[in-house]
Copies of this chain bind each other. A is one copy, B any other.
Amino acid sequence: MRFATYDDGSIDGRLFVVSRDQKCAASAAFIAPSLLSALQRWRDVEAPLRRLSGDLDTGRIANAASFAPERCLAPLPRAPQWLDGSAFLNHVRLIEQAFGTPPIPDFDTIPVMYQGASDDFLGPHAEVPFVDEQDGIDFEGEFGVVVDEVAMATGAEAAAERIRLIVQINEWSLRAISAREMLRGFGVLQAKPSTSFAPVAVTPDELGEAWRNGRVAMNLHVELNGERIGSASGAEMAFSFPELIAHAARTRRLRAGTIIGSGTVSNADRAAGSSCLSEKRVIEKLDLGEANTPFLEFGDRVVMEARFPDGRPGPFGRINQRAVSPTPYDRQSETRNV
């Protein structure tokens, strides 16, 4: 199944199912008003949602309309928790090498993960406001999973059974701030503004063979202002998503709808390029002696799309966003209705 969330003015948006060819969408609100609500009642709604999806794919939905990614919010505009790992060894080792920082203790055996804000996710076409270009504006292409309720101290094997959806993520980062924050022991906070999502969240079966070993074996194509930055594979995660979930649930319950991220997708093969500018700059520094690629300026456009190994576009759709200066909307106090 493929799900998208249209903006209807509510905080959680309105649930739609999307056809396998990405051309049509049909409201699923008569089954569950929002994707969050569907995840909270998955046992009851999975079968009717599968029937609706099947009917959409076979042309049996009278009121199906063209799928409109530009109407989409993030599949989950808010989630109970957003926990982002950093499971690509290559990425972390490169950054340690470039900055000469000591290796993260036990990086190979214990995942690193931080808690991000989960109340203000951005849709795939939303303009992304940043306060200051001097903060080192960067993107991070990632994959993620959305879980059903996970009990405290669940192990990786049981955690695998709790994965409901897979998502594609751009975790915006402010590098000038994270460099300072990571030295203070309390993790990253100001360095992490709102995170963005591709329009379509999918059940694991939609990936076929590309969902294996608890990893997304797809290539994440990343472009900045039309130029290729990378197309690294999600298969090289040092920890699987079930292992990341078990790490997150070690001392707490995870509520249905919690999102667990992979961290920046990164491959040992330099030909794969990068999924963030920070890594690209590190490679430039190591290879050329200095980082030539600047961080983002207002107006820069970032496009991300996961593709299958054979080159076909994946089911998540594209993230296509511009970094912008904050508008009066961002600077004003405004609350959506629940």
CA distance A189 to B116 in the complex (A): 11
Asked whether any CB of chain B lies closer than 8 Å to the CB of A190, the reply is yes
Asked whether any CB of chain B lies closer than 8 Å to the CB of A255, the reply is yes
A81-B117, A135-B251 are known contacts. Are A149 and B186 too (CB-CB below 8 A)? no
A117 and B252 contact, CB distance less than 8 A: yes
CA distance A192 to B114 in the complex (A): 12
* Chain A stretch 110-126: residues in CB contact (< 8 A) with chain B: 112-120
A80 and B78 contact, CB distance less than 8 A: yes
A115-B116, A183-B105, A335-B255 are known contacts. Are A190 and B250 too (CB-CB below 8 A)? yes
A174-B251, A185-B112 are known contacts. Are A333 and B151 too (CB-CB below 8 A)? yes
A186 and B86 contact, CB distance less than 8 A: yes
A 120-160 binary contact with B (CB < 8 Å = 1; else 0): 10000000011100010000000000001111110000000
Asked whether any CB of chain B lies closer than 8 Å to the CB of A288, the reply is no
Asked whether any CB of chain B lies closer than 8 Å to the CB of A14, the reply is no
B248 and A333 contact, CB distance less than 8 A: no
Asked whether any CB of chain B lies closer than 8 Å to the CB of A332, the reply is yes
A253 and B330 contact, CB distance less than 8 A: yes
B186 and A188 contact, CB distance less than 8 A: yes
A191 (CB) vs chain B CBs: closest residue: B251
Q: Which among B78, B152, B336 is the interface contact of A131 at CB below 8 angstroms?
A: B152
Q: Which among B130, B151, B247, B256 is the interface contact of A251 at CB below 8 angstroms?
A: B130
Which B residues are in CB contact (< 8 Å) with A184?
Answer: 104-106, 112
B104 and A333 contact, CB distance less than 8 A: no
A 177-201 binary contact with B (CB < 8 Å = 1; else 0): 1001011111111111110000000
A112-B184, A113-B186, A184-B105 are known contacts. Are A149 and B333 too (CB-CB below 8 A)? yes
Interface centre among A106, A113, A119, A131, by most B CB within 10 Å? A119
A11 (CB) vs chain B CBs: closest residue: B40
Asked whether any CB of chain B lies closer than 8 Å to the CB of A331, the reply is yes
Asked whether any CB of chain B lies closer than 8 Å to the CB of A265, the reply is no
Asked whether any CB of chain B lies closer than 8 Å to the CB of A302, the reply is no
Asked whether any CB of chain B lies closer than 8 Å to the CB of A90, the reply is no
Q: Smallest distance from the beta carbon of A245 to chain B beta carbons, Å? A: 13
* Chain A stretch 255-299: residues in CB contact (< 8 A) with chain B: 255-256, 258
Asked whether any CB of chain B lies closer than 8 Å to the CB of A227, the reply is no
| Closest CB pairs A-B (n = 4) | A187-B187, A80-B119, A182-B185, A149-B333
Extra contacts, 6 of them, besides A151-B332, A152-B330 (Cβ < 8 A), are A37-B338, A80-B120, A130-B251, A131-B153, A191-B251, A192-B252
Interface residues of A (CB under 8 A from B): 36-37, 40-41, 78, 80-81, 83, 86, 104-106, 112-120, 129-131, 135, 148-153, 162, 174, 177, 180, 182-194, 247-248, 250-253, 255-256, 258, 326, 330-338
